[in-house]
Structure 1
Amino acid sequence: MINMQPYENPEYFLWLSLALLPIIIGLLKGKRWRIYETIVSFAFLFLIFDANKFVQGLALIGYVAFEMCLMFAYFKYRQKRNDTWVFVIAVLLAIFPLVIVKITPVFEHGAASIIGFLGISYLTFKIVGIIMETRDGMIKSLDFLKVLHFILFFPTISSGPIDRYRRFIKDYDTVPSVEKYVNMLGKSVHYIFLGFLYKFILAYYFGSVLLPQVSALALAHGGISWYLVEYMYVYSMDLFFDFAGYSLFAVGTSYAMGIETPMNFNLPFISKNIKDFWNRWHMTLSFWFRDYIYMRLVFFLMKKKLVKNKVNLANLGYLTLFLIMGFWHGVTWYYIVYGLFHACAIIICDVWLRFKKKHRDKIPSNRFTKIFAIFLTFNLVCFSFLIFSGFLNTLFFMKH
């Protein structure tokens, strides 16, 4: 059996091109062939989860069946009532499989959970978003096949970006004008070729050529060294170009299917401060956490008057948000420290921005200060990625 992981090799892109060709022809003629799109989606999902990924495929089927029942049961309940405790239970049930997958390696000596599969995090974010927007009354109707198509949209299943149901369905329910689609098709080609540059040239160079070399040198030297600094920068470049490459492939494929999946990265390494960075890095994830966790937590604390000071309220929100983000990446000390590091960085950034606002006439703002701000932010982010990489754990706490 053929098993093809998304965007991994030329064979995948060959099959993808052949599958997309009828969709492209249809959209150029002003038609969306939804049945064919559904067949293509299920065919590529089959190719992702067959052969040695068969157990993951079964886990995906069980997961989707459970979550669909949960979403539609809550939607039906929400038409008549809106009790908070029911909403909380629905959200907890929705994230329960993901929690099990994340904590299983801690108790099973690193072994993966049998209910885990590629993309479970991104599917969970989509589903929780639907439940929360159902609670808010923003989603007025749920169509079984459309929800299924949304959560199993194959271009984004492995690495995002994280789309929103209402935005996705708006695209899915309409056929773009020929003029608009030609423009989308041009962007699709651009994004895919840029993805090739990022993933197969730059990420390969940084991740497969340079990273093993600097890693070996840093481990051989031991402790803090210039080789460790080299590792920090090389890993940061590899992380960005690999992830951004995958995201560009996903967005490019979506555009070819007439779906304007949101971009995930926007030149993050030219950010002027850490808050600006999170508006540019993995944007769909950071905006998801902002809208569904941070804003709701802050609103709840304000409503209950548990925290009255606005600064303390924001800081508590940041700490909670990034701790959750750290735990989401994995239950290890370096992911949790990574989350706390960014929370503290944003809190300090807010302190500086408030101070700067009060003393605007005394603090210079020119080309040099802007370049310095970008330089400082870049290095701060790269250091956080060094923590995130887990290399410090290998260097200082494991025998090698």
Structure 2
Amino acid sequence: MINLQPYTNPRYFLIILVALLPLIIGLYFGKRFKIYEAIFSLVFLFLMFDGKDTIQGWQLIAYVIFQFIITFAYQRYRQAGKNKTWVFCLAVILAILPLTTVKIAAVVPTQVASLIGFMGVSYLTFKTVEVIMELRDGTIKKVDPITYARFLLFYPTLSSGPIDRYRRFKADCDKAPEREEYLDQLRLGTRYIFQGFLYKFIIGYVFGTIWLPQVAHAAQVLGNANGGLKISWALVAYMYCYSMYLFFDFAGYSLFAVGTSYFMGIKTPMNFNKPFISKNIKDFWNRWHMTLSFWFRDFIFMRFTFFAMKKKLIKNRIRISQVAYLVDFLIMGFWHGLTWFYIVYGIYHALAIIINDIWLRFKKKHQKQIPHNKFTQALAIFLTFNVVCFSFLIFSGFLDTLWFH
């Protein structure tokens, strides 16, 4: 039996294109074959978790059943007209419990991680928490079980996103697009997939497979020669090389997921929008891994801000936003993993945004004295790029190898 990991080689795309042909033909004629779409997803999920990954397939099934119980129990509770905060908090805690357990088990000597740590657990958790929170807000009145299953198990985005929203997804999957709209989706989907090939299999390969090991080795040799971590040309080269690899590899993967989704008539949101031309760090997070950053903005940053204002935890609104940034990015750091470099990465970005906000307020107050032209804009892009690349050096964990090994 073939084990098909998503978007790993050209053969995968030929197989999935052939499998998608009935859906493509149906959508062209204004018909959405929901039964075939379900069969397609289940078959490819089976192939994805076949062989040595079979246990992960069973974990996925158990996880979805667990989340169904939580979501529909909470929906029934809300439909009864009840809205106790502690019940909502319990539902959220239960929804994130599997992911939290996986993150803790990854750094604690235990077999728990292997029992529940399947591919895609993070992105499924983001989806379930979003639905529970919007049920509480009333923006989602009722979750349809079939649509919810399709939403959670949507094959193109299962393993690594982008993170869609239930209401947006439901609007697409409930109907077939008009022919002209679908032809445009096919055109864009084809473009995104070829762009993904360029990003992941060519540019990402050069940076990640050819250059990165070489500069990593050079940095380690120079570091050992100097008795530990020391800034060198190789370390700087590693920082830029890893940053480029991280972007092109992940952006390429995301383009594959979006392009495949478009073939299926689902307009999954884009994940990247030219992040390295950002003029400041806040602009960067509006362009980088957008579905993740917007999820954290909507469901952590904004909710903490409203909670702090409502409970009058902090009177100064500027201080509230600063604390909210720290909470937001600290949680993001912990989500990546319970290691010092992920946590420092989160704190680093929180401090960068706080400093940026202070600068923007100062700039607005003294706008007549501070020049604003093409040179200053280019300087802002250059500074932001380097601030971001240094954060990726922290994120890579490479400094950990220089310090402790």
TM-score clears 0.5: yes
Contact 1:255–1:261 (CA under 8 A) maintained in structure 2: yes
Q: Which residue of 1 aligns with 2:169?
A: 168
Residue 110 of structure 1: how far off its partner (Å): 10
1:83-133 Cα offsets, whole Å, 9 max, x none, are: 000000000000000000001021117994320100100000000000000
Change (3 A) 1:65 1:175: same
1:248 aligns with 2:275: no
Correspondence 1:295-334 to 2 at 5 A: 295-334=302-341
Q: Which residue of 2 aligns with 1:186?
A: 187
**Distance (Å, rounded) in 1 between the aligned partners of 2:27 and 2:349:** 43
Change (3 A) 1:142 1:393: same
Q: Which residue of 1 aligns with 2:37?
A: 37
- Structure 1's unaligned 5+ residue stretches are none
**Distance (Å, rounded) in 2 between the aligned partners of 1:244 and 1:326:** 20
Q: 2:67 aligns to what SS in structure 1?
A: helix
1:227 aligns with 2:228: no
Tell me the C-alpha RMSD between the 2 structures.
1.0
**Distance (Å, rounded) in 2 between the aligned partners of 1:194 and 1:108:** 41
Q: Which residue of 2 aligns with 1:106?
A: 107
Letter in 2 for 1:233: Y
Q: Which residue of 1 aligns with 2:226?
A: none
Q: Normalization by structure 2: what TM-score?
A: 0.97
1:155 aligns with 2:133: no
Contact 1:105–1:113 (CA under 8 A) maintained in structure 2: no
Q: Which residue of 2 aligns with 1:196?
A: 197
Change (3 A) 1:374 1:349: same
**Distance (Å, rounded) in 2 between the aligned partners of 1:190 and 1:14:** 16
Q: Which residue of 1 aligns with 2:94?
A: 93
Count residues in correspondence. 398
Q: Which residue of 1 aligns with 2:50?
A: 50
Contact 2:101–2:113 (CA under 8 A) maintained in structure 1: no
**Distance (Å, rounded) in 2 between the aligned partners of 1:206 and 1:55:** 33
1:108-164 Cα offsets, whole Å, 9 max, x none, are: 179943201001000000000000000001111111111000010000011100000
Q: Which residue of 1 aligns with 2:392?
A: 385
Q: 1:336 aligns to what SS in structure 2?
A: helix
Q: Which residue of 1 aligns with 2:352?
A: 345
Q: Which residue of 2 aligns with 1:59?
A: 59
Contact 2:24–2:264 (CA under 8 A) maintained in structure 1: yes
**Distance (Å, rounded) in 1 between the aligned partners of 2:162 and 2:249:** 14
Q: Which residue of 1 aligns with 2:21?
A: 21
Letter in 2 for 1:72: F
**Distance (Å, rounded) in 2 between the aligned partners of 1:39 and 1:45:** 10
**Distance (Å, rounded) in 1 between the aligned partners of 2:282 and 2:102:** 30
**Distance (Å, rounded) in 1 between the aligned partners of 2:40 and 2:122:** 23
Q: Which residue of 2 aligns with 1:271?
A: 278
Letter in 2 for 1:361: K
**Distance (Å, rounded) in 1 between the aligned partners of 2:68 and 2:381:** 44
- Structure 2's unaligned 5+ residue stretches are 224-228
Contact 2:102–2:112 (CA under 8 A) maintained in structure 1: no
Q: Which residue of 2 aligns with 1:236?
A: 243
Contact 2:96–2:129 (CA under 8 A) maintained in structure 1: yes
Residue 8 of structure 1: how far off its partner (Å): 0.4
**Distance (Å, rounded) in 1 between the aligned partners of 2:389 and 2:331:** 21
Change (3 A) 1:124 1:294: same
**Distance (Å, rounded) in 1 between the aligned partners of 2:15 and 2:85:** 47
**Distance (Å, rounded) in 2 between the aligned partners of 1:90 and 1:180:** 39
1:356 aligns with 2:357: no
Change (3 A) 1:110 1:315: farther
Letter in 2 for 1:19: A
Change (3 A) 1:3 1:220: same
Residue 205 of structure 1: how far off its partner (Å): 0.5
Contact 2:27–2:182 (CA under 8 A) maintained in structure 1: yes
**Distance (Å, rounded) in 2 between the aligned partners of 1:138 and 1:329:** 29
Q: Which residue of 2 aligns with 1:118?
A: 119
Contact 1:100–1:113 (CA under 8 A) maintained in structure 2: no
